[in-house]
Amino acid sequence: MTPRATPVAVDAPVRLWRISLTPHPGDDQHALLDDEDRARLPRMDRDVRARLLARRAVLRQVVATELAVVPASLALERIDGRLVVHTDDGRTARPSTSSSGDIGLVALADGPVGVDVEARAPVPEAADIARDLFHPDEVRWIGEGEGQLERFLAVWVRKEAVVKLSGEGLQRDLRTFRVAPGDAEERVSGEGLGRVATRGVAIEGTVAAVAWLT
């Protein structure tokens, strides 16, 4: 596996890797891409292209290692909003990815999974975002104690992870379900989601979380 992919311990039935999105000199990342990925590169801004190249390459390497195949043989597509990776022999994996700055995460599970990471940085409009987009119970929890920025980010990354798992993304009204970072089980409640749980992930300088079906 590429040295930029490092396993991350998480208290959940999820396999998680931290990846660096900064290309290393001499990396042959193009060898890990398929023709569709390569065709997209010339149309992108240099920095965006470099990050996509790193993210796609490491994602393929991680999934290929899990499935014991050659990275370039994997085909990626979106099905119902979820990323699906296909192998030549008909197997599939449903990874989830997220990035913030040069830090990225790749998550895999036995079923649908979602992951989100955000840099731990001030969010001046956090109170307005919470009031407009979060479930009332989440807004109350954020305001109950100290460290309101940390609480806001804890809710945000969990909600992002949930809508990545469901495939709905931010098209779903985030007020229609509730995450519970303050509860031991962290069960998610909301219509149409099934049995979903979340868990925070400790990565220096960030706030991150995963979501999975229980």
Each residue's pLDDT, cut to its tens digit, for the chain (214 residues) gives: 444 689 999 999 999 999 877 655 445 555 555 566 677 777 777 776 777 677 777 888 899 999 999 988 888 888 888 889 999 999 999 999 998 888 889 999 999 999 999 999 999 999 999 999 999 999 999 999 789 999 999 999 999 999 999 999 999 999 999 999 989 999 999 989 999 999 999 999 999 999 999 9
**Are residues 151 and 67 located together in one domain of the fold?**
no
In this prediction the pTM is 0.87
User: How many domains does the chain divide into?
Assistant: 2
**Are residues 121 and 105 located together in one domain of the fold?**
no
Sequence-distant (≥ 6) Cβ neighbours of residue 49 within 8 angstroms: 41
**Are residues 82 and 25 located together in one domain of the fold?**
yes
- How many Å apart are CA 99 and CA 200, to the nearest integer? 15
**Are residues 208 and 126 located together in one domain of the fold?**
yes
Residue that finishes a domain, picked among 112, 146, 169: 112
Task: Print burial letters for 13-47: b (CB count within 10 Å at least 16), e (below 16).
Answer: ebbbbbbbbeeeeebebeebbeeebeeeeeeeeee
Vertex 111: Cα angle to 213 and 36 (nearest 5): 130
**Are residues 128 and 32 located together in one domain of the fold?**
no
Q: Of 84, 80, 110, 111, which Cα lies nearest the Cα of 97? A: 84
Domain carrying residue 139? 116-213
**Are residues 105 and 123 located together in one domain of the fold?**
no
